[in-house]
Amino acid sequence: MSGWDASTQWLVRARHHRKQLACCCGSAGCALCCGCCPKFRQSRSTRFMYLFYFTLVIIPCCVMMSPSVMKQMTEHIPFFEDFCKGIKAGDTCENLVGYSAVYRVCFGMACFFFVFCVLTFKVNNSKSCRASIHNGFWFFKLLLLGAMCSGAFFIPDQETFLNVWRYVGAVGSFFFICIQLLLIVEFAHKWNKNWTAGTVRNKLWYASLSLATLIMYSIAVGGLALMAVFYTQWDDCMDNKILLGVHGGLCVLISLAAISPCVQNRQPHSGLLQPGLISCYVTYLTFSALTSKPEKVVKDEHGKNVTICVPDFGQDFRRDESMVTWLGTLLLVVCISYSCLTSTTRSSSDALQRRYGAPELEVARCCFCFGPDGEDTEEQQNVKEGPRVIYDEKKGTVYSYSYFHFVLLLASLYVMMTLTSWFHYENATIETFFVGSWSIFWVKMASCWMCVLLYLWTLVAPLCCPSRQFSV
């Protein structure tokens, strides 16, 4: 009996190792690699793996932008100098530090996602050969990603490459920001549409809509008031006063436009919830822009340099560089990863192309934004390769593979430009990540105005193009 038990255990282990090998070197789902992993839909597990690779590249980029971390590594790792000389990166790996190194690594990562963007173009069937490459072969893809990031350091004519790639990164970052702004506007319309559909069956949804609208406007008005108190002074900070006045006026403008009779005739479901959410986002971007402005220093009556137009706690906040920097970097990676996931769902892709579901098919939910991509049917769970992976793409792809890689490509460029402080790259380090610069300030200002324009366009478009069908 003991021999039979030993044989059974050996077969179980062999089967487990075969699944791991199929995941890393074959087309099996990546959840099979880990025996302790919960059940995963194949569509989600694949996206999480690509985001894991994305994060693996971002971490060394942050280290490359941190001279203090490199100094600590030189002092505390005995073989560090020998390793640097062995890979011909300088005595202390100085060739792997600074904005140029980040440009090269992000170039390799962008090329990686570009290859898969082209490879998976027009893939609609998850059983095709190209879909198998997208959903499996993770070990080989990790080697390919490492080879591309390393090979970028051997590009000749460094100065020309960096100058050209900088502008490519700026353009790609602009499109990534546009996608995020479109999704913010789409989220506002989707929220209002879902909860408004609930009022047909239950009048309590009116109370939910009213409460959410009140909270949104309270946050927006309170935020603008606090910024007026802390970021302006009675006899100075005129630029901050103008900025707050303009953005407050924009919030009033979009609110009046949303409930205007001409808009209501074409879009009966348009209300104050959408402009309330957009106003909150405008308030956040305004605050973020004000904190990104270079500090304004003047001399007081005693001849001492004094920083104005910035709250006292804001100066202390900036001085605690290490904690703020790494928490901010972590938040950046999390937000970008979430954006990449949400922007590539089928519903978001349809919304970006102005395709919305019928209102009568809407089912009101409090957590509507976390709806599944597909249902866990028995057919999906009864798979021959084990219960770890739920194959939810048997009848077709749940999301656009090519578009997902395209968004990650743009995210790579956005991270590159953000870590290197956009066009103030010469003295950029991760320790000065939250030190203000005019480049970051104007990027956030442009994002704010573009968000307002996009929302206004969703209101005005049905009036300008009455022959076209717009469903919001």
Q: What is the mean pLDDT of the chain?
A: 76
Give first-to-last CA distance, the chain, whole Å: 68
What CA–CA distance (Å, rounded) separates 352 from 371? 17
pLDDT at 329: 64
What CA–CA distance (Å, rounded) separates 314 from 325? 14
pLDDT at 130: 87
What CA–CA distance (Å, rounded) separates 339 from 426? 29
pLDDT at 100: 85
Tell whether the model's pLDDT for residue 315 goes beyond 70. Answer: no
Average pLDDT estimate for 361-372: 57
pLDDT tens by residue, 180-218 = 888 888 888 888 888 888 777 878 888 888 999 999 999
State the number of CA atoms in the 13 A half-sphere of 111 facing the CB: 16
pLDDT at 184: 82
357 vs 192, higher pLDDT: 192
Q: Which letter does DSSP use for residue 96 in this model?
A: G
Assign 11 a pLDDT band (cuts: 50, 70, 90): very low
Tell whether the model's pLDDT for residue 470 goes beyond 60. Answer: no
Q: Angle, nearest 10°, between helix axes 158-198 and 401-419? A: 120
What CA–CA distance (Å, rounded) separates 152 from 132? 27
326 vs 268, higher pLDDT: 268
88 vs 375, higher pLDDT: 88
Cβ contacts of residue 101 below 8 Å, gap of 6+?
64, 95, 153
Distances in whole angstroms, Cα of residue 310 to Cα of each of 4, 52, 185, 292: 75, 38, 31, 11
- Amino acid symbol at 170: A
What CA–CA distance (Å, rounded) separates 271 from 264? 8
pLDDT at 295: 76
pLDDT tens by residue, 28-37 = 555 545 555 5
Tell whether the model's pLDDT for residue 251 goes beyond 90. Answer: yes
Tell whether the model's pLDDT for residue 465 goes beyond 90. Answer: no
Residue with tokens 């979430």: 338
Assign 236 a pLDDT band (cuts: 50, 70, 90): confident
Assign 376 a pLDDT band (cuts: 50, 70, 90): very low
Average pLDDT estimate for 87-109: 81
Cβ contacts of residue 369 below 8 Å, gap of 6+?
187, 190, 191, 342
Assign 383 a pLDDT band (cuts: 50, 70, 90): very low
pLDDT at 382: 45
53 vs 9, higher pLDDT: 53
pLDDT tens by residue, 46-69 = 888 899 999 999 888 888 887 777
229 vs 296, higher pLDDT: 229
Percentage, residues of the chain above pLDDT 90: 18
Contact 247, 166 (CB under 8 A): no
- Alpha-helix runs per DSSP H in 40-97: 42-64, 67-76, 80-86
